[in-house]
């Protein structure tokens, strides 16, 4: 089983913090549609080309899909016809068993799997929401970022705070029962009280999943250039910790489990003990056996060594002891696919790289690293390096799992660096 990721690079405009590969298509409608049509044809053909290679880990016909994720960019910028074509191709190549109910205008998969699409709030019109009924999409990931219109304008986001709430209502009316919303903190001059207000506005939406991140100043972005020019200032460490503490504690109180450093999922079963434990990061799976059913299954596959297939410009794939990545240029990508060439590079993952990958991914989760999955050599190496970090209260070992403590989360990059094999 593997996850399928399809990268849609199109954005109506660029946010000042975004470091992901994306493009802003031509403003003329005919030119924009032409690029979209060629790109959609290309990603559909890439799926077919990978299947022809009969590579089980990177798209072979015998590979069953556990999840499907349309990310970007802004997949909600695609036309309904383009989305239909993509899913029809997925069904043809990976045999997910699409079942179309034309009478009720619905579509499902024969075996239930998580199918996620990223959306911008302002793209969720009444028509868009109703069209979702006839697609196998059962999970929406939507970027709110903040409920302050002033901060949204600063980010160059297209939507308003009110449009987030409207979008959620429309998605509910379209029977989308699993909604994830992104939220950011640490804006220039943002106060702790303003952050608390954002959290409460988000909780009022009663959604199933929350991803919350601090605002990042990635090199090469307009936001980074503002920082370098001294026009904005990054938040100090103490305020960051206060904001992150507030986030963890308030979401635990509201019945969400923190199953990854930045990700929170609503729990169906809540007890007073469970709520208390949720704020401690490590708990649910091993102690209570009731992890949230709303964890992102697709993202969890990245963190837990599950193979995944990446389709589209700049998309990455992983499995069978190797990883590959497509060229990050839409025009070059389309040209190569039209010439029946896979525009990708590949590398073999050696034992040290695989160990380091586990440190960087599994340690982000509440379960942490399953020590039994490591060879005796790597387990001994890890625990030797982990010992001083355990003594500092940054790591804890419990029942064969090594995981970050609450204090460890705040310095997770440093902890992971200390555990790497170099």
pLDDT tens figures, 318-333: 988 899 999 999 999 9
Q: Output the pTM of the full model.
A: 0.89
pLDDT in tens, 216-251: 887 888 888 888 888 888 888 899 999 999 999 999
Domain ranges (residues) in the chain: 2-303, 351-422
Q: What's the confidence (pLDDT) of residue 108?
A: 85
The H or E element spanning position 213 is strand 209-214
DSSP letter at 10?
B
The CATH architecture to which 2-303 belongs is: Alpha-Beta Horseshoe (3.80)
The CATH classification of domain 351-422, taken from the options 1.20.120.330, 2.40.37.20, 1.10.10.920, 3.40.190.10: 1.10.10.920
Question: In the chain, pLDDT over 90 holds for what percent of residues?
Answer: 69
289 pLDDT tier (thresholds 50, 70, 90) = low
Distance CA 278, CA 272 (A): 10
* Angle at which helices 29-52 and 330-338 cross, to 10°: 50
In the predicted model, is pLDDT for residue 100 greater than 90?
no
For range 16-20, the mean pLDDT: 68
Residue 221: predicted pLDDT: 82
- pLDDT of residue 8 exceeding 60, the answer is yes
Provide the pLDDT for residue 222. 80
Residue 236 has which token pair?
């100090």
Which pLDDT belongs to residue 23? Answer: 63
Contacts 24+ apart (CB under 8 A), 35-41: 35/10, 35/330, 36/10, 36/78, 36/79, 36/82, 37/82, 38/334, 38/338, 39/8, 39/9, 39/10, 39/312, 39/313, 39/330, 39/334, 40/78, 40/82, 40/85, 40/86
Comparing CA positions, the residue from 166, 170, 111 lying closest to residue 144 is 166
pLDDT of amino acid 11: 81
Q: Give the pLDDT mean for 103-116.
A: 87
| pLDDT single digits (tens) 179-227 | 999 999 999 999 999 999 999 999 999 999 999 999 888 788 888 888 8
Which pLDDT does position 279 carry in this prediction? 43
Whole-number pLDDT of residue 28: 57
> Would strands 401-404 and 369-370 be described as parallel, antiparallel, or unpaired?
antiparallel
The larger pLDDT score, comparing residue 284 to residue 331, is at 331
Per residue in 152-184, pLDDT (tens digit) is: 998 888 899 999 999 999 999 999 999 999 999
Output the six-digit token pair for 222: 């307009």
Phi and psi (nearest 5°) for 298?
Answer: -65, -50
The percent of residues in the chain predicted with pLDDT above 70, rounded, is 89
Average pLDDT over residues 32-45: 88
Q: Which residue has the tokens 């959290």?
A: 199
């Amino acid at each position: 089983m593997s996850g399928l990721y399809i990268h849609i690079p199109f954005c109506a405009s660029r946010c000042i913090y975004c470091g992901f590969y994306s493009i802003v298509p031509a403003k003329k409608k005919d030119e924009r549609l032409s690029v979209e049509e060629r790109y959609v044809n290309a990603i559909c053909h890439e799926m077919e080309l990978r299947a022809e290679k009969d590579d089980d880990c990177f798209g072979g016909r015998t590979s069953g899909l556990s999840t499907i994720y349309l990310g970007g960019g802004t997949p909600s910028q695609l036309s309904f016809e383009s989305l239909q074509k993509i899913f029809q191709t997925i069904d043809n190549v990976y045999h997910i068993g699409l079942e179309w109910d034309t009478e009720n205008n619905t579509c499902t998969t024969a075996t239930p799997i998580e199918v996620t699409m990223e959306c911008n709030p302002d793209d969720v019109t009444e028509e868009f929401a109703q069209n979702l009924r006839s697609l196998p999409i059962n999970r929406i990931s939507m970027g709110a970022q903040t409920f302050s219109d002033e901060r949204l304008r600063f980010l160059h986001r297209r939507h308003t705070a009110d449009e987030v709430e409207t979008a959620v209502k429309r998605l509910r009316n379209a029977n989308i029962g699993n909604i994830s919303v992104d939220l950011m903190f640490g804006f220039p001059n943002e106060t702790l009280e303003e952050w608390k207000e954002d959290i409460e506005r988000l909780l009022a939406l009663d959604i199933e999943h929350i991803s919350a991140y601090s605002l990042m100043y990635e090199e090469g972005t307009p936001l980074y250039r503002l920082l370098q020019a001294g026009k904005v200032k990054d938040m100090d460490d103490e305020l960051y910790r206060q904001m992150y503490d507030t986030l963890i504690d308030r979401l635990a109180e509201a019945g969400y489990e923190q199953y990854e450093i930045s990700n929170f999922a609503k729990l169906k079963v809540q007890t007073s003990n469970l709520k208390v434990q949720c704020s401690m990061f490590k708990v649910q799976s091993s102690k209570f056996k009731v992890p949230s059913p709303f964890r992102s299954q697709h993202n969890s596959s990245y963190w837990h060594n599950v193979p995944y297939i990446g389709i589209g410009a700049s998309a990455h794939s992983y499995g069978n002891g190797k990883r590959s990545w497509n060229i990050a240029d839409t025009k070059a990508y389309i040209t190569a696919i039209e010439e029946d060439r896979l525009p990708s590079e590949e590398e073999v993952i050696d034992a040290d790289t695989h160990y380091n990958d586990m440190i960087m991914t599994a340690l982000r989760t509440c379960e942490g690293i399953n020590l039994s999955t490591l060879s005796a050599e790597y387990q001994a190496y890890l625990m030797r390096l982990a010992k001083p970090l355990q003594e500092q209260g940054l790591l804890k070992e419990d029942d064969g799992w090594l995981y970050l403590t609450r204090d460890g989360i705040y310095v997770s990059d440093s902890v992971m660096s200390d555990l790497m094999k170099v």
